[in-house]
Each structure stands twice: as structure tokens, then as C-alpha cells.
Amino acid sequence: MQVPLKYILRSSSSRRLTTLITVLGIALVVFVFTAVLMMANGVQQTLRSTGSDDNVTVARKAAASEIMSIIDREAAGIVSNMPQVARSADGRPLSSQEAVVIINLAKLGAKGISNVTVRGVDEAVFQLRPQVRIVEGRMFKWGAREIIVGSGITTRFGGAQIGQQIKFGGDLWSVVGIFDTDGSGFDSEIWGDIHQVMDAFKRGSFSTVTFRLKDPDDFGELVTAFEADNRLQYFVPKREKKFFEEQSEMMAKFIRILGLFITVIFSTGATIGAMITMYGAVANRTVEIGTMRALGFYRRSILLAFLAESFVLSLSGGLLGLGLASLLQFFTISTLNFGSFSELAFSFALSPSIIANALGFSLLMGLIGGFLPAVRAARLNIIQALRAV
């Protein structure tokens, strides 16, 4: 004979205070667990959306980031003029030779300083990255000490507003525009003329070369051409999306490890709380359990009933914690990206896999916390239970 579901639900509601405390404890753990996964996913999505599958980025082999990559002018010229590179209407390669440097900027509100990426770009960059659009002000003039700043920079750093100046590379640079890329990593950068940036930092080489493929299916042929050309043996081509996605791996892994460590500590407390609640339920319902056994309910039915009650508590807490964590999607935060050593603004990102993991984790806490009390309830002797009246 099976225990009715209605009985299980009414049993949970009869102990409102302990049930509420247990649900809130599980909700807190699920909130932290989900927030960690959303943060790591947000970093990855931000950098993944920075690139395009139609573009290829060439960097030096073994370079962990753009600031560690060096491409000499000769190699950059060879890459830009390869037959797989698309060309504009006037016959010029759709290629941007770029220099990436890191500067220090003071945060707004006297909150210290942080690293910010400055990217020197070619004129073809806006054809390569059509998602970049000027939302305020104007484009910088080529050949001038002018810059445009990402929307994520202008709201967090002093001097990064239109009409103001930022000092780096031994000179003052005028902020003339603000650009936005719908939440990609470029929103956390400052852009200027490649030649002006290289002159200011006394650089004779580029960091990367990004170009548009004539045909997206030509990537395999491009890789073969790189391997066959002795002048390009120190460089590696990658699809731009994959290149930037790799920049997020170290950061996302660190967030997950740190977050999971904290979650394990919190979940231990929540699981113990659930176990205490269920042991209390068994102690308070000893007579009920004895009566159900006398009426013909099987031991396994009692076991499943108490496990189901524990699952109801954990699922309720899981849904509450998940609901609260989903609100984080409306917030944007920034942190230092370990891949580029510069500030990166990103939003929390929820996904179906995160939802499944969060609910699965809450049910696991319910299983661990409810199993032993459920076994104890199932093993109660009928006569001794009825004598507890």
C-alpha cells in the first residue's frame, strides 16, 4: 500500500517554522551555487560573443593572450595578403593589424585603479566587426591622438567620458566617442589608431592580425598554408570566436573552483539542517507511523514517503534559490580577467544546463539529508510506535 501524496504535503506544512528554516537554508546554498555557475558562464559568453566565426585571428604560438603575442611587420604583411583573405570593394585586404597594451586607470568614486585594455586598430576593423557601433560622440580621427571608449569603461573609470582626456603612452588622448558591442569583451576596451598607439608605446611589432576569410570553409586550407610557409612557423591562426573563448577558460575555471568550495561548506550545513528537520518529523509522528504500519502500509512505502517529503523541501528551496539567482541577470559586474590581465565587464548568464544542475544539486541535498531519517521511520516497530501515545 502506498502513502498518499496529500499526506506527505500536509506533513510538511504542519511544521511551518522548521520547514521554512530548512527551505531557506537550501535556497541559500542553491543561490550561491547558481550564482557561481552564472558568473562563470557570463564570463565565457562575454568573450565568446566578442569574436566571429567568419574572422580569423593570428597570434604567436604559445601566447596565452594578445598582450603576450608579438607579430613582426613582415609576417603581418604576409598574413594580410594571403589568398584566403577577403578583400573590400577597392581591393584592400579586410584585415586589421592590431596592437594591444594595458594601462592603469582610476575608477570612479576613488575606488582605486585597475588595468584597462587599449587596442590600436586599422581602418578595416569596423567592416570586420560590424557589431561595434558608436552610440555617443564620434569616431576618432586617423592620425590623431584621439580615442573611443567602450560602454563598459565610460561608466566605471574617471576621465573616460566624452570631452575628457586620458594620459597614457607619455601623451594625452582625447575621448571623442563611446562605442557599444551588445555586451561583448570589446565594451571593456579603449580603441585608437594603430599607428598612433604603436608610436606612443615605441612598438615596432603588432600583437595580432585579424582578417575576414574569403570563404568560411577555407579555414582548413588556411591552416595548411601556414604550416607550409616557413616564415609563419611561429604563428597560429584561430577562428576569432575560439580565440577569445580560450581567453575565458582560466577565469571561468577559477570562479567555478572557488565557488564550488564555498558551496560545499554551505551545503554541508543545509544538509544537516534538512536531516535534523526530518529526524524531528519522525520523532513527532511515531504514533502515525505505527498506525500506518498497522493499517498495512509497507516499510518501503514509509521510506519513500519520508524521502518524498525531504525532496519536496529540497525542491522548494531549490526553486526559491534559483528564482533569486535568476534576478542577477539584470546586473553587470566587472573583474580582472586572468587571460588578459585587464578589467572585464560581464553579466550573469543563466542557461538550461545551470538550471538542471541547480535543481539536481538541491535534490541531492534532500536525498542525503532525508535518507537516514527515512530509514529510521521505516524500521520503527509497530507495537513500540503505538505505545508512544
Mean pLDDT of the chain: 83
- Tally of CA atoms within 13 A in the half-sphere of 73 that contains its CB: 5
Let me know whether 199 and 122 are in one domain. yes
Answer yes or no: do 35 and 128 share one domain. no
Which pLDDT band holds residue 74 (cuts at 50, 70, 90)? very high
Q: Which amino acid is at 204?
A: G
DSSP H helices in 90-208: 125-128, 151-154, 194-200
How far is it, in rounded angstroms, from Cα 174 to Cα 124?
22
Per-residue confidence (pLDDT) for residue 110, from 0 to 100: 62
pLDDT band with cut points at 50, 70 and 90 for residue 296: low
Domain that holds residue 85: 62-233
200 and 153: one domain? yes
Q: Categorize the per-residue pLDDT at 279 as very low, low, confident or very high, splitting at 50, 70 and 90.
A: low
> What distance in Å separates the CA atoms of residue 99 and residue 109, rounded to the nearest whole number?
30
Residue 309 shares a structural domain with residue 197: no
> Does any domain span residue 56?
no
164 and 216 assigned to the same domain: yes
With DSSP H G I counted as helix, E B as strand and the rest as coil, what are the percentages for the chain, rounded to 5? 55, 20, 25
pLDDT reported for residue 162: 94
Counting residues of the chain whose pLDDT is more than 90, the rounded percentage is 35
Residue type, 142: W
pLDDT at 281: 63
pLDDT digits (tens, 9 = 90+) for 148-201: 999 989 888 888 899 999 998 889 999 999 999 988 888 989 999 999 999 999
Can you tell me the mean pLDDT for 133-144? 93
Same domain? For 222 and 258 the reply is no
Q: What is the pLDDT of residues 61-72, one digit of tens each?
A: 988 788 889 999
Q: Give the C-alpha separation, 54 to 304, whole Å.
A: 55
Cβ–Cβ < 8 Å for 116, 107 = no
Among 205, 233, 261, which residue terminates a domain?
233
Burial label for 215, CB within 10 Å (0-12, 13-18, 19+), is exposed
- My answer on whether 119 and 203 are in the same domain is yes
Single pTM value for the model? 0.79
Q: In terms of domains, do 225 and 95 share one?
A: yes
Q: Which residues pair with 107 in a beta bridge?
A: 157
- What would the grid cell of residue 330 be? 539584470
How far is the C-alpha of 25 from the C-alpha of 264, rounded, in Å?
Answer: 13
CA–CA dist 184, 306 (Å, integer): 48
Q: What is the mean pLDDT of residues 285-307?
A: 65
Residues 19, 85 within the same domain: no
Band of pLDDT at residue 1, cut at 50, 70 and 90: very low
Q: Give 192-248 pLDDT, tens digit per residue.
A: 999 999 999 999 899 999 999 998 888 999 999 999 999 999 999 999 888 888 877
Instruction: Using the predicted structure, report yes or no on whether residue 381 has a pLDDT greater than 70.
Output: no
For the cut 60, the answer to whether the pLDDT of residue 5 exceeds it is no
Tens of pLDDT, residues 31-43: 988 988 888 888 8
In whole angstroms, what is the distance from residue 152 CA to residue 176 CA?
A: 16
User: Is residue 242 included in any domain, yes or no?
Assistant: no
Looking at per-residue pLDDT, the higher value among 275 and 44 belongs to 44
Q: Determine, yes or no, domain membership for 54.
A: no
Query: Could you tell me what percent of the chain has a pLDDT over 70?
Result: 84
In whole angstroms, give the CA distance from residue 350 to residue 355: 7
- Sorted by sequence, the CB contacts under 8 Å of residue 188 that are 6+ apart come out as 116, 117, 150, 152, 153, 334, 342, 343, 344, 345
* Residue in the block written with cell 512505502: 301
